């Protein structure tokens, strides 16, 4: 028996680095998986890799009607949502606050904050009816501290902490758990893009990580599987750092 046997899991940003690897781990643990992403071709690629059983839904998490669409399609096909990995995100422009454009700031907030909020708003009624569910919101170490030149991202990831705490306290009486995860740099497209913007390379960044390397998506997926499973039934409203020891410095 897998640790997620019989469970239905929705993953936003499901065609991306962390999302797709976590989908694979969810499937291996016996869950049914729904992948939500902005890009149709990336979803098709993911389905080819993960298998025909995976439901894919093209949706923009920042748009209310799209969020309703992925929730409705999931319930129509699988009848419930046990696990919601609220994970889609963008990095925004890398430049000081004085040079950030308001429209670029708004775009990051729309995806990383409104997207997470809308996901909670539309998934929670399904879970409330079931009287159960586990939600994992993807924040970042950037949601727990500052870092130069990525102010929209930092702001958005701190907001995810607020949403996590609010949703956890509000929905504990319904038997629903809500936690956030806070990875340090992970080996994905997003980190490659940030490296370019910050003009750093992996070897330099890795010097500030005691374990001496970036996280891999599989490292993150291990934590997500734990928080999604019934092994974590007394954990809610918590912020989980997964950072190769950075916080200990
Ligand atoms: P990624 O770019 O590989 O994946 C992000 C996915 O989100 C992509 O598939 C993208 O198409 C999708 N997406 C973007 N905007 C969307 C929208 N409006 N609607 C639907 N889907 C959308 O990056 P990743 O590293 O896998 O990032 C996943 C999450 O992890 C993000 O929230 C990110 O902020 C967070 N995170 C990443 C790192 C890192 O170093 N890679 C560190 C900490 C936290």
pLDDT digits (tens, 9 = 90+) for 25-69: 999 999 999 999 999 999 999 999 999 999 999 999 999 999 999
C-beta of residue 99 within 8 angstroms of C-beta of residue 53 = no
Using pLDDT thresholds of 50, 70 and 90, give the confidence band for residue 87: very high
Query: ipTM value of the model?
Result: 0.99
Determine the pLDDT at residue 2.
97
Strand (E) or helix (H) holding 181: strand 176-183
Using DSSP, state whether 179 is helix, strand or coil. Answer: strand
> How far apart are the C-alpha atoms of 248 and 194, rounded to whole Å?
23
> How far apart are the C-alpha atoms of 16 and 135, rounded to whole Å?
19
Residue 109 has pLDDT above 90, yes or no: yes
Query: Between vectors from CA 164 to CA 46 and to CA 242, what angle results, nearest 5°?
Result: 60
Residues catalogued as catalytic: 153
Residue 139 has pLDDT above 90, yes or no: yes
Tens-place pLDDT, residues 144-161: 999 999 999 999 999 999
Interval 111-128 mean pLDDT: 99
Cβ atoms < 10 Å from Cβ of 173: 9
Cβ neighbors of 83 (< 8 A, separation 6 or more) are 4, 7, 8, 9, 10, 26, 31, 133, 134, 135, 136, 228
Using DSSP, state whether 137 is helix, strand or coil. Answer: strand
Tens-place pLDDT, residues 194-236: 999 999 999 999 999 999 999 999 999 999 999 999 999 999 9
Residue among 195, 137, 192, 141 at smallest CA distance from 164? 137
What is the residue-averaged pLDDT of the chain? 98
First to last CA, the chain: 40
Dihedrals φ, ψ of 83, to 5°?
Answer: -130, 130
Q: Which atom of ligand 1 is nearest to the CA of 62?
A: 18
Residue among 187, 157, 140 at smallest CA distance from 17? 187
Q: Which atom of ligand 1 is nearest to the CA of 42?
A: 9
Which residues does a 6 A CB cutoff place in the pocket of ligand 1?
A: 12-13, 15-19, 37-39, 42, 59-62, 87-90, 111, 115, 138, 140, 183, 185-186, 188-191
């Amino acid at each position: 028996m897998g640790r997620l046997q019989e469970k239905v899991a929705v993953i936003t940003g499901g065609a991306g680095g962390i999302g797709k690897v976590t989908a694979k781990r969810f499937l291996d643990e016996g869950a049914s998986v729904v992948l939500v992403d902005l890009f149709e071709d990336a979803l098709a690629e993911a389905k080819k890799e993960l298998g025909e059983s995976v439901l894919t839904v093209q949706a923009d998490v920042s748009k209310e009607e799209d969020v309703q669409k992925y929730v409705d399609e999931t319930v129509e096909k699988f009848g419930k949502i046990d696990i919601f990995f609220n994970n889609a995100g963008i990095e925004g422009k890398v430049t000081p606050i004085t040079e950030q454009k308001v429209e670029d700031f708004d775009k990051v907030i729309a995806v990383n904050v409104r997207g997470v909020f809308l996901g909670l708003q539309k998934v929670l009624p399904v879970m409330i009816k079931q009287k159960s569910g586990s939600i994992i919101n993807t924040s970042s170490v950037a949601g727990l501290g500052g870092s130069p030149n990525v102010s929209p991202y930092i702001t958005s990831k701190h907001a995810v902490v607020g949403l996590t705490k609010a949703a956890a306290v509000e929905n504990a009486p319904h038997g629903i758990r809500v936690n956030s995860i806070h990875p340090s740099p992970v080996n994905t497209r997003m980190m490659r893009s940030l490296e370019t913007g910050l003009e750093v390379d992996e070897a330099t960044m890795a010097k500030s990580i005691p374990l001496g390397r970036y996280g891999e998506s599989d490292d993150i997926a291990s934590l997500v599987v734990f928080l999604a499973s019934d092994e974590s039934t007394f954990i809610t409203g918590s912020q989980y750092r997964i950072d190769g020891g950075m916080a200990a410095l």
